Amino acid sequence: MEEKSSSMIQNTASRVALITGGVRGIGRAVTLALARRGWIVAVCYRKSEQEASTLEAELRAAGAQFMLVRSDVSSAPDAENLVRGVEENYGRVDALINCAGSYHRVHLLQESVQGWREMFDNNLHPVFYLSRAVAPAMMRLKWGRIINFGMVNADQNTGQPYVTAHYISKIGVIVLTRSLAKVLAPHGITVNSISPGFIDTGGIPQEEIARWLQSIPAGYAGSPEDAVGAVLFLLSEEARYVNGANIQVSGAWGV
């Protein structure tokens, strides 16, 4: 596990967020939004060195307190070490935001055993590993937020011949979210999921986006900031009684 950080002086007035997959796409937008609002951000990534360096420069320029950690959270020991490192540096984790995950499109009968397992190892299992690791400190503090990212229509349980394992893993995220919510609600902790639809993160060809628009009732693709808005709400005190929810961010597509 490789770590880069800013000053480690703890600011007890600031909340601490651990964001996996936080250097690209929605995760990056969440990281920057929280840093601008005074949160301490601990950002985990696995392979995206260039994106991590760019984010590091932006966070330093903004005067943010942060950690950037290269870690593979599909490994339970690495996930636990990641949480332990954040708690050692800042004393706690107030919010866990699980943005990490992988995706591939392949016909079910051509799917490999390795590809099948990767979808669960990267999309579902880390949510369990990390939630289990952050829960004890949150329970002691009687406050915490866990936000997981699902898939817009995963709760419909429909057949998905080309993204079967990914789809099942996201159904699992929703069930795990609701189960954690029931377990942790007595301790002042909320656990919710956000299910994005078509989100333009900047790496999708415009012709592909144009094809999407025909099926999106809102008439446009979402931006990472649309997901950020849902995250900020779930982190707020206004959402203290929202627990076990799955918020669709899709312009009414897939609902």
Max CA separation in the chain (angstroms)? 53
* Section 224-231 average pLDDT: 97
Band (pLDDT 50/70/90 cuts) for residue 119 is very high
138 touches 187 (CB < 8 A): yes
Does the predicted TM-score (pTM) go above 0.75?
A: yes
Q: Residues 39-84: pLDDT tens digits?
A: 999 999 998 899 999 999 999 999 999 999 999 999 999 999 999 9
CATH superfamily of 2-249: NAD(P)-binding Rossmann-like Domain (3.40.50.720)
At residue 229, does pLDDT exceed 90?
yes
117-121, 208-212, 216-220: range with lowest mean pLDDT: 208-212
Q: Residue 60 and residue 63: Cα distance in Å, rounded?
A: 5
Run of H or E residues at 66: strand 66-70
Is 167 annotated in the active site? yes
Q: CA-CA distances (angstroms) from residue 227 to 31, 54, 80, 253?
A: 12, 21, 27, 15
Better-predicted residue by pLDDT, 211 or 51: 51
**Per 3-state DSSP, what percentage of the chain is helix, strand, and coil (rounded to 5)?**
45, 15, 35
The 10 Å Cβ neighbour count of residue 13 is: 6
Strands 144-149 and 95-98: parallel
Determine the pLDDT at residue 7: 42
Q: CA-CA distances (angstroms) from residue 142 to 40, 57, 106, 189?
A: 19, 34, 44, 7
**Token pair in block for residue 253:** 């597509």
String of DSSP letters for 140-186: HHT-EEEEEE--TTGGG----TTSHHHHHHHHHHHHHHHHHHHHHGG
Domain-wise residue ranges, the chain: 2-249
At residue 8, does pLDDT exceed 70?
no
Band (pLDDT 50/70/90 cuts) for residue 211 is confident
**Annotated active-site residue in 45, 90, 129, 167:** 167
